[in-house]
Structure 1
């Protein structure tokens, strides 16, 4: 459910200095950020539009737009197509570890939700058969999901699982992450090989993630293996770069 627009209290901007050395856009951004950090603007709150806010404060639309963009760049606000500007918890920083996005979001205090876009049993082609260690033509499970955090879309997840996971039902994935479901079936993910990249979003990805058409997305390809060395999952995912990043620790040998 879309939240109504929240009008920022005039007292928040009472001390704006129109003649000082600090740019007005920075002063506005700082005060909105303080309202977010203090909880006056909770996650999910929608800000009034730039024109209305500018008119109330006696500031130009470019000034307001620059202030809002600064907070978007910090991951505190997000622009959502057809909805407006909305407060988020902040960007998800994912350590490159063998965890699922669902686990990462829940662990960071956000509330993950899933929209199942595709759930089908298909025949493995030569490429997927090689990745998953099954014969071409063997039945495999193909999933495509939209993962959101506090109702803000973060990632489009596409997964392929070998034959013994084709019984995973749509209901299993509505309330739980894929790795949770797999662990509940006795699977222990032990190691994964993954590649991180970037590209332009496909048209349907732009719409699902509520970003500009052809905007940039982060990508991750991952093959996960269980404790016997068998491939149990292959995933190709794309993420909003303004809300998501990967964190890697480097060690000098």
Structure 2
């Protein structure tokens, strides 16, 4: 039978106990930053999963031979990135890894699902609206034409990541709202017989408005990534125009750059 002390230690065991930290005290990189980088890598690679508790700062500082302020600074930097959260009465907890999305013609839902992020969708609007000049130009229809407007809030692990606004031309079949909440838009378009071929996309950044901050659980003025995309089928016909916003603290695009000779 285990001793009382053994049960106590097992109850307070942390996933950090199994991680092989390697801190270089001779490096010009501050120790808190080295620790933060290794913690972030553990979260990205799944060694620290959403919901895991990091345990006591004092125990971690003792184990690594670091000062408590150094450990606290490393943890705070990941709290600021949205990877960790401090919960009263619970401790410091892993929230999720940052979403890293390849810059290619793919569905956000599919990318999140592939990365094990457990995406969910809330359809905020699904209705017909008259096309403005901007939307009409993107979809190749006369201004004022009725188009489908979809607004969706995308979450991972229960936390908002992106607010998606898409416009679809009237030539496309009507999409079921319930199915939009259980899968991605591009999957539904393919199921409807649309062959997605290419897209023109622009990525930018700006500050969150008050309404956007409420939707994405951010502060007003927080950094947002923006994306505008027009997708085309294999005949060159525009089939979707999207204007999306993403939480910069939890989302990034990955680029592959080639040297042109």
Q: Same fold (TM over 0.5)?
A: yes
For the residues of structure 1 that align with 2:44 and 2:81, how far apart are their CA atoms?
A: 13
- Residue 122 of structure 2 aligns to a residue in which SS? strand
Cα separation, partners in 2 of 1:193 and 1:28, compared to 1, 3 Å:
closer
Shift of 1:46: 6.7
**What corresponds to 2:143 in structure 1?**
136
Cα separation, partners in 2 of 1:45 and 1:203, compared to 1, 3 Å:
farther
Which stretch has the larger CA shift, 39-48 or 67-76?
Answer: 39-48
Given the two structures, how large is their TM-score scaled by the length of structure 1? 0.76
Q: Is the 8 A contact 1:220 1:237 kept in 2?
A: yes
2:185 aligned with 1:147: no
Q: Deviations over 1:129-167 (max 9, x none)?
A: 121111222211111111111222111111111113362
RMSD: 3.7
**What corresponds to 1:87 in structure 2?**
94
**What corresponds to 2:116 in structure 1?**
109
For the residues of structure 2 that align with 1:11 and 1:235, how far apart are their CA atoms?
A: 40
- Residue 164 of structure 1 aligns to a residue in which SS? coil
**What corresponds to 1:3 in structure 2?**
none
For the residues of structure 1 that align with 2:145 and 2:185, how far apart are their CA atoms?
A: 21
For the residues of structure 1 that align with 2:104 and 2:60, how far apart are their CA atoms?
A: 46
* Structure 2: tracts of 5 or more residues without a match: 1-10, 18-24
Shift of 1:77: 2.4
2:129 aligned with 1:122: yes
For the residues of structure 1 that align with 2:187 and 2:46, how far apart are their CA atoms?
A: 32
Cα separation, partners in 2 of 1:88 and 1:198, compared to 1, 3 Å:
same
Shift of 1:108: 1.3
Structure (1 or 2) with the larger CA radius of gyration: 2
**What corresponds to 1:162 in structure 2?**
169
- Residue 250 of structure 1 aligns to a residue in which SS? coil
Q: Is the 8 A contact 1:141 1:165 kept in 2?
A: no
Given the two structures, how large is their TM-score scaled by the length of structure 2? 0.74
Q: Is the 8 A contact 1:139 1:166 kept in 2?
A: no
